[in-house]
A and B are shown apart, each in its own frame.
Chain A
Amino acid sequence: EAGVTQSPTHLIKTRGQQATLRCSPISGHTSVYWYQQALGLGLQFLLWYDEGEERNRGNFPPRFSGRQFPNYSSELNVNALELEDSALYLCASSLASGGGQPQHFGDGTRLSIL
């Protein structure tokens, strides 16, 4: 079974640009989650999508947005990039959000802002 895949692995941008990160969940998983992990820090919850709908959002400004497609893959878009957006962005997927199903993570996209 293929795991959660994220692309690109690394992304280098400059301040003010826009970044798009992509995530393909495990086959059969309908929930997708996005997290930001800055260097040396824990996970900061960004967004949760389930069945194409945004279910919950973390404490991030509106320039962080995303969507989930009919095939359950997802995009995270970050507009007007700032230096502090440099981080590892992790995507996770799970079976339907109820029932105590664990999240399975991809290896992340390392976003560097110059």
Chain B
Amino acid sequence: GNSVTQMEGPVTLSEEAFLTINCTYTATGYPSLFWYVQYPGEGLQLLLKATKADDKGSNKGFEATYRKETTSFHLEKGSVQVSDSAVYFCALLRGGGFKTIFGAGTRLFVKA
């Protein structure tokens, strides 16, 4: 079946540190891949997406590359800020009427 595995958190970094949150997936076919971010007290916001192999999604300094050979979609940011503190969810969606599968979420704390 389809599944998404994220690295367990919490991840604690100092401001301006490099961020990587690992995400791997299992799916048949060619799913679309997403990263969502949830700030405290809010719903999830779509952060970036990639719809085919080797696509790179990017937004707000975050980026992730769809790697079919390693079935991965790791989230990276070169220099995190305190305002990036949130929970990050990796997700996949197969077309053709299948529902989105979310990872368990990774909480990020950024210290000033």
Contacts and interface: CB of A to CB of B under 8 A. Distances in A.
Size category of the A interface is 20 to 34
Interface residues of B, number: 24
Given A90-B43, A102-B34, A102-B46, A42 B104 contact: yes
B95 A99 contact: yes
A22 interface: no
Interface string A57-101: 000000000000000000000000000000000101000011111
Contacts of A43: 44, 89, 102, 105
Given A48-B99, A56-B99, A102-B34, A42 B105 contact: yes
A104 interface: yes
Interface centre among B36, B41, B44, B105 (most CB of A within 10 A): B44
Contacts of A90: 43-44
B89 A98 contact: no
A98 B100 CA distance: 11
Interface string A38-56: 0001110100100000011
A59 to B, nearest CB: 13
Contacts of A45: 99, 102
A5 B85 CA distance: 24
A42 B49 contact: no
Given A43-B89, A98-B97, A102-B32, 13 more contacts: A4-B43, A33-B99, A33-B100, A42-B103, A43-B105, A45-B99, A45-B102, A48-B99, A92-B44, A97-B99, A100-B95, A102-B34, A108-B43
